[in-house]
Amino acid sequence: MRRHVLSVSLTLVAAVTLAAAQAPGEEPFVRLDPAFDRIVPADAKLELVKGGFGFLEGPVWVEDEPNSYLAVTDMAANVIYKWTPDGTVSVLLDRSGYTGYDIWRVGMPEPSGRGLYFMIGSNGLALDPQGRFVIAGWASRSIKRLEPDGSQTTLADRYDGKRFGGPNDVIVKKNGTIYFTDGIGGLRARGDDPSRELMIQGVYMLKDGRVTLVSDEIENANGIVLSPDETILYANNGPGKIITRFDVRSDDMPVNGRVFADFNDDKTPGITDGMKVDTVGNLYTTCCGGVWILSPEGKKLGMFRTPELAANLAFGDSDFRTLYVPARTGLYRIRLNSEGIPGR
C-alpha cells in the first residue's frame, strides 16, 4: 500500500465546475417538515473541505483516535484518498479499482461532460467487523477487501459463473454479511461492451463465500444501506430515482422489496445515489440537486443543496454528527444534530 502526501495542491477550482447544482439566489435549505429542523440546525452551513479532485465517491469515516480520517474514492484517478482533520490528503490505496495496464478497455465515460476521461477506479467503501475496507471495485468488476498488509483479496467477481459488470456500492452487516449492487459502469461501452457477461443489473448478498441474487428488478442498481437495527435493506436505482426497501430475514436474506421513496416528480439534475442512515433510522440520500433527508416511514423531510452534484455521503468526526458529502470534484461537510453509525 502506498501512503504518501500529495505533492500537488488540490485547488478550489472544483467549487465552480459545470456540474453546479445550486443556482445563484436559491435557498440552500428546503424545509418541508418540522423534523428537518431538529436534524439540521438553523445556522448550519455546507462548507468545502477540499477541491480539485476528479470524481469523488464512496466515503467512510475510520475511527482511530488520535489518527481518525475519512477515506474517499476518486474514481477518475483510480485512488482511495485519506483526508485527516488537519487538512492533509494522502493516498491510502493506489489503483483501487482496475489494476491492469490496458485501461482503455474499462470504465464508463465521466458523466458530467467536463472532459473525455473514464471512471477506472473503485466506487463504494464500507468497513467489515474487523475494521478492514470492503471495496466495490467498479472497473475491477469485483468486491475486494483491503488487508492489513496492503494486499487485496477478491471476495467475489462472479455470479452464476459470469463476471460482474461493475459493483457500485457496498454495505456490511455486523455479522460480516455483505450486500452490494452491480451494474454496467465498469464497462467502457456499458451495455454494449463485448466483455459484458451478466445480462442483469442486481442487488446481491455475499455470505460465507457464496453470492446470492437478492433482486434483478432494480435496473441501474446504485446506492445501498442498512437500517440501524439491520432489519431493513435499502437500495436505489440511480437514474430511475426510486429507493426500494427490503425486509431482512433472520438468515440475512432481504425479501419483500417495495417502493420506499420516489423522486421522479423532481426534475432537478441528479440521481438517487449514495445513502446513509442515522441512529434513529432517518435516511439520507443524494438526489436532485443535493442531499435529501427522509423519515423511517419514507416521508421527505427536506434537503440541502450542494454546489456540485453530490454522489455519496458519510457521517464522521468523533461524535459522528458531521456529514461529509463527496460531490464530483469537491469534498463538502455540514454539522448536524443527528448522529450517524460508525463504519457505514
CA distance 293 to 86: 29
Residue 58: partners with Cβ closer than 8 Å, 6 or more residues away: 72, 73, 80, 122, 123, 124, 125, 136, 169, 274, 312, 326
In angstroms, how far apart are the furthest CA atoms of the chain? 53
Could you give the 3-state DSSP secondary structure of residue 104?
helix
Q: How far is CA 168 from the centre of its chain?
A: 8
Helix (H, G, I), strand (E, B) or coil at 36: helix
Domain layout of the chain by residue ranges: 12-335
pLDDT averaged over 10-residue windows placed end to end, the chain, 344 residues? 35 35 72 97 97 96 94 97 97 97 92 77 98 97 97 97 98 98 95 95 97 94 97 95 98 98 94 97 97 98 97 97 97 98 88
**What is residue 6's predicted lDDT score, i.e. its pLDDT?**
35
Q: What is the model's pLDDT at position 107?
A: 94
Residues in Cβ contact with 242 at an 8 Å cutoff, skipping those fewer than 6 apart: 236, 259, 261, 262, 263, 264, 272
Does the pTM of the predicted model rise above 0.85?
A: yes
Burial 279-314 (b: 16+ CB within 10 A, else e): eeebbbbbbbbbbbbbbbeeebbbbbbbbbbbbbbb
Residue 184 CA to residue 188 CA, distance in Å, equals: 9
Place of cell 441474487: 213
How many helices (H) and strands (E) the chain has is answered by 1, 27
Which of these CATH numbers, 2.30.30.90, 3.40.50.1360, 2.120.10.30, 3.50.30.10, describes 12-335? 2.120.10.30
Residue 1 confidence (pLDDT): 41
What does the pLDDT read at residue 21? 53
Contact 243, 261 (CB under 8 A): yes
DSSP 184: S
Task: Count CA atoms closer than 13 A to 323's CA, side-chain side.
Answer: 33
Torsion of CA 290, 295, 298, 301, to 10 degrees: -50
Q: Could you tell me where the DSSP H helices lie in 250-291?
A: none
Residues paired with residue 277 on neighbouring β-strands, in sequence order: 283
pLDDT for residue 24: 53
